[in-house]
Amino acid sequence: MYSMLSKKQLRDQLRQRRNELSFQEKNKASEIICKKIMGLSIFKSSERLAFYFSHDGEVDIRIALSKALEVKKACFLPLLHCTLDHHLDFYSYHLKSELIKNRFGIGEPDPTRETPIATKELDLIFLPLVAFDKDGNRLGRGAGYYDRALAFLKDSNAQKPKLIGVAYEFQKINSITAEKWDIPLNSVVTEKNIYHF
């Protein structure tokens, strides 16, 4: 269905489909996906986890974030770098964190109040995505924020952080042409399946 489309066309079509989901459909999928996430052995064993706040129809994983905080895991959120274009860092997040909206309207930790962590120190990162394929390739929004933050994984034997994509089942496509800078996912969780690559 999507094989002949450019990446831009793919993004446009899948984002549109995502945004056409009803509030009830999104909530139901979110609950199912968060339950699957919380059942993962890597979720249970990880101590430092990075989440995201959903935007543009992405799967909302705040239930899993709340559970991680409840069991005293160290939680982090991405923060768009203030001086380096298309870069992001990770900062601590807890129940009393005050969030500041970035230029996309997404809540981020206040860097003057929260603690940064080096990406390589994280055990597990949950990533939003527009599409994924059978090999764990991820199509994001196209700005390359996560690819830059995770570039150190490309040429190293680093065992962490593990990368888990979060998506609706309809975001799975046959194949994504991987660029040399793309970082593949270890797993993807949808409302229907858990895929390991």
Binding residues for substrate: 58
Residue numbers belonging to the annotated binding site: 7-11, 58, 138-146
Q: Which positions make up the binding site for ATP? A: 7-11, 138-146
Tokens of 133: 């394929």
Q: Measure the N-to-C terminal CA separation of the chain; round to a whole number of Å.
A: 23
* Cβ atoms < 10 Å from Cβ of 22: 8
Quote the DSSP letter at residue 172.
Answer: B
Q: Which residues have CB under 8 Å from 142's CB, separation 6+?
A: 7, 8, 11
Hey, is 28 helix, strand or coil?
helix
- Rounded Cα distance between 108 and 77, Å, is 7
Token pair of 139 as six digits: 């199509």
